[in-house]
Structure 1
Amino acid sequence: MGIDLAKGGSVALAEATETLTHITVGLGWDPNRPGGEEFDLDASAIALQENDRAPSLSYFVYYNNLSSPRGEIVHRGDNLTGEGAGDDEQIDVRLDLLSSAITRIVFPVSIHNADYRHQSFGDVHGAYIRVVNTDTGDELVRYDLSSTAARDTSMLFGELHRDSGGWHFRALGEGGIAGLAQIARGYGLDV
């Protein structure tokens, strides 16, 4: 079992393992009304440079762009319902392949057609983000989000950030009322 973080908490991934090169970021949630109306949350990853901007649109990895240019970040596919046990969506990150210009990766989750369907994060429970050592399957760190985001339609679940000591994971849990495109534009992407 890995380290459980509270909102705002951060942990150095090197503390978990010295040879960490490949991680899987797992994100999960469950609809409050299983079997009800379709509930599609979309996880994504945006790789950022020191100026907090993505180097290009190809570093915005989501259901319509499943991989960054060199395969450093790969989205394993879109879960359209959120039902079932375990991670609903997973994003692989090859830390050893990332350019030194990439200093941060944020993991936003948005609700597809939230306005049209009148859905928000208040309609889900059990939301979490976790980091797993892909080579061993060991969970390194986990953040269970609280249910205080009743009206939010998007949320930054967490982030990876790099400093001179290596990669760290920070639990964010920052919600808002925005779609995926609006989130991407906030990081300098023209979508």
Structure 2
Amino acid sequence: MRGETIPGEELIVAKPDGSCRTFLVAAAPLRDSAGTITGAIIAGEDISPLKELARMREEWTSIIAHDLRQPVTTIVLKAAVLAKQPQCSDKAQHILASATQLNRMIDDLLDVSRLESHRLDLRHVEVDLPALIRATVERTADATRGHRVDVEVLDGVPPLLADPGRLEQVLTNLLSNAAKCGAPGVEARAC
């Protein structure tokens, strides 16, 4: 009635039995031809089932990721031991690289779940961006093998306040996607 418009806001309503329901509420004033507020219209929808589905999906994602971690860790450890044996080091390195990639995919799955639930933690520290980019390019050399990757820094870049792990994750994804999907000989530039 003060003239505010609420496009969509979650409202949690506690019931006498102690349970709660979540509603998505929208409201707007009603005005007459002179612009005077004469009333208001409110629409609400019980989204409790959707919230429960989201919670269950997040829980399922977390359980699956946790259950996948144990066998992947075992594969990584066994492949690392095999990689030290001269007769099978190449094959073991491929297994190790694949298991490491699977670990990254599990991390990405968990990150998506955390993003959706607004629980993704970021560690903000001062980052030397050119050094981080160069180190990431070196660490992704296996994924970008056969593709030329050049890092050029123009006019010095000041330190950046960011999460270095997340930045490296983004850069690694960009580089590996460019290597997988990019046509050979086609130059891709990032500034």
TM tier, shorter chain? under 0.3
Greater fraction helix: 2
Larger Rg: 2
Higher relative contact order (CA 8 A, sep 6+): 1
Greater fraction strand: 1
TM-score norm. by structure 2 comes to: 0.23
